[in-house]
Amino acid sequence: MSYIRVYIACLMTTVLLLTCSVGHCRPNPPLDILPKRELRGVWIATVVNIDWPSAAGLDVAKQKQELIQQLDNHQRAGINAIMLQIRPAADAFYAKSKEPWSRFLTGKPGQQPSPFYDPLEFAITEAHNRGMELHAWMNPYRATFDLVTANTTSDHITKQKPNWFFVYGSKKLFNPGIPEVRNYITGIVMDVVRNYDIDGIHFDDYFYPYPEGGKPIPDAETFRQHPNGFRNIADWRRNNVNLLIHMVSDSIRAEKKYIKFGISPFGIWDNKKDHPRGSASSGLSGYRQLYADALKWLEEGWIDYINPQIYFPFGNTNAPYEVLTDWWGQHANGRHFYVGHAAYRVNENREGWRDRSQIPNQVRYARQHAHAQGSIYYSSKYIANNAAGLRDSLQYNLYRYKSLPPSMPWLDSVPPEPPFGLLAQASKNAASITLHWQPSAPATDGDEAYGYVIYRFNEGEELDLNNPQHILHITYDHTQLTYTDNMVRRNGHYRYIVTAIDRLKNESMPSNIRELYIE
């Protein structure tokens, strides 16, 4: 062994001993091998001001400032997708809506922001500027968050069509068994699809209501009026939900082929003791109690991704994280599977959650064992505020390199044409290199480039575009045809490549290579 090797070995031993003295002999976790393509999302909840805005009725400047701060923190953490709740309870965080402005935005139902702005438009622009997708998160069935009359406007849908709703758990809920209800909700979704430059439509886990004290759901009369050939009310309820999912899916596909449709169901589809296809778990069943048949949606190809809320730690008695993650990974049916992680639980003094590496290890497990294509965290403030150091784990390890969202070949498999004419020029003080390139020609399917990916390779490095370590920048702006690299040094030898991406993140062949030596 050479002297240098002995010195390095001694140095590493010293570092490990220092780590042991501080961290009870737990060496720092290894740096993970990272995928180039992975959905890295976060939910921004607006209902009762969970994440944003921090309080109802804040002035517009403060609202914008808070959202920008959260997005900046998420960008630093490596997040590339935002699930923004724009319809908490048959209301709106967007201007082009048939439903009234949300009281969680302005403090008063039906009151628009003053000075006026469109929060959804603002969020889309800011997310895209940071290389993040924006998925419009909508609650399809919750119509009110309470039964206080003053909390809804006189023209609220619950007052216009009172027969469309039932009361359960101190809330008014759309009755999924009524055909007009399904048409109405689909119409609300499509207003957003048509009018906004979103990347996806996202539903969460609220279908039929979570059971409350054994109270029955008051829809027996609806079942009698609209049985649709069913004799079993449970099968009928599941079919009612299926009809809506199918209708929304078909409507989105017909309008904009690139908009993704995803659903985040409860973490357990069904338990094996009750259904032969179920998981080895014993908790609440989305299939049985919420009438949400996620396997049906996947097998029919109605949705593009499934994002189950697996809010349990490893080894949980009733719902072990590893069992549920494996199960969903095996049942995705060719669609994307993103794990929903309970970031809100990272500070809990409970079994499993006392381990501050619980969620980082869940991410590792999902990547390696369940072949998940990504993760989404609930909720935004716990990532933005670095609860239990989770943002640090993402920023400096798990998400330390940029990533592209995984492509969806069933929606679009044609890559864009490559950019060309790449040029590179060093600044006079040799502190930066500016790249210029020519835009891609339209692809064979007529799609134009949506953005570009800039790669940099140091001297001696393999020109491997599959290694995310070399991604300098991702832009979702097809008009941006220049990029300045400020992370260069004297005597550096650099090679650059640019590729084009389309709306669904299909990537082109590389541009010409541009090589530059900084003296």
At 325-351, the pLDDT tens digits run: 999 999 999 999 999 999 999 999 999
What is the mean pLDDT of the segment spanning 209-237?
A: 97
| Location of structure tokens 């169901």 | 265
At 251-302, the pLDDT tens digits run: 999 999 999 999 999 999 999 999 999 999 999 999 999 999 999 999 999 9
Judge whether 373 and 338 are in contact, CB under 8 Å. yes
pLDDT at 21 over 70: no
At 495-512, the pLDDT tens digits run: 999 999 999 999 999 999
- DSSP letter string over 84-112? EEEESSS-BSSSS-SSPBPHHHHSSTTPP
Q: What own/partner pairs with CB < 8 Å and gap ≥ 24 does 391-396 have?
A: 391/73, 391/76, 391/77, 393/357, 393/359, 393/360, 394/40, 394/77, 394/78, 394/79, 395/76, 395/77, 395/78
pLDDT at 145 over 70: yes
pLDDT at 7: 32
What is the mean pLDDT of the segment spanning 114-136?
A: 98
Judge whether 136 and 202 are in contact, CB under 8 Å. yes
Judge whether 174 and 240 are in contact, CB under 8 Å. no
pLDDT at 20: 36
What is the mean pLDDT of the segment spanning 198-219?
A: 96
pLDDT at 27 over 50: no
What is the mean pLDDT of the segment spanning 149-156?
A: 97
Confidence grade of residue 61 (pLDDT, cut at 50, 70, 90): very high
pLDDT at 33: 83
Cβ neighbours for 283, distance < 8 A, ≥ 6 positions apart = 267, 268, 271, 318, 319
**CA–CA distance from 505 to each of 43, 171, 255, 276 (Å)?**
21, 40, 19, 37
C-alpha–C-alpha distance, residues 140 and 89, integer Å? 8
Cα first-last separation, the chain: 36
What is the mean pLDDT of the segment spanning 238-245?
A: 98
Judge whether 322 and 277 are in contact, CB under 8 Å. no
pLDDT at 138: 98
What is the mean pLDDT of the segment spanning 184-204?
A: 98
Confidence grade of residue 10 (pLDDT, cut at 50, 70, 90): very low
pLDDT at 31: 67
Cβ neighbours for 387, distance < 8 A, ≥ 6 positions apart = 343, 346, 347
| Location of structure tokens 């993140």 | 505
Judge whether 192 and 95 are in contact, CB under 8 Å. no
Q: What is the mean pLDDT of the chain?
A: 94
Confidence grade of residue 519 (pLDDT, cut at 50, 70, 90): confident
pLDDT at 174: 98
Return the percentage of the chain with pLDDT > 90, whole number: 92
pLDDT at 2: 35
Judge whether 514 and 421 are in contact, CB under 8 Å. no
Instruction: Give the residue among 407, 299, 320 at the shortest CA–CA distance from 370.
Output: 320
**CA–CA distance from 228 to each of 179, 192, 217, 235 (Å)?**
10, 30, 18, 11
Judge whether 264 and 304 are in contact, CB under 8 Å. no
Instruction: Give the residue among 107, 104, 122 at the shortest CA–CA distance from 65.
Output: 122
At 398-433, the pLDDT tens digits run: 999 999 999 999 999 999 999 999 999 999 998 999
Residue 470 backbone phi and psi in degrees, to 5: -95, 0
**CA–CA distance from 103 to each of 47, 93, 282, 288, 310 (Å)?**
9, 9, 38, 33, 30
> Domains of the chain by range and CATH?
39-396 (3.20.20.80), 423-518 (2.60.40.10)
Instruction: Give the residue among 274, 291, 283 at the shortest CA–CA distance from 205.
Output: 291
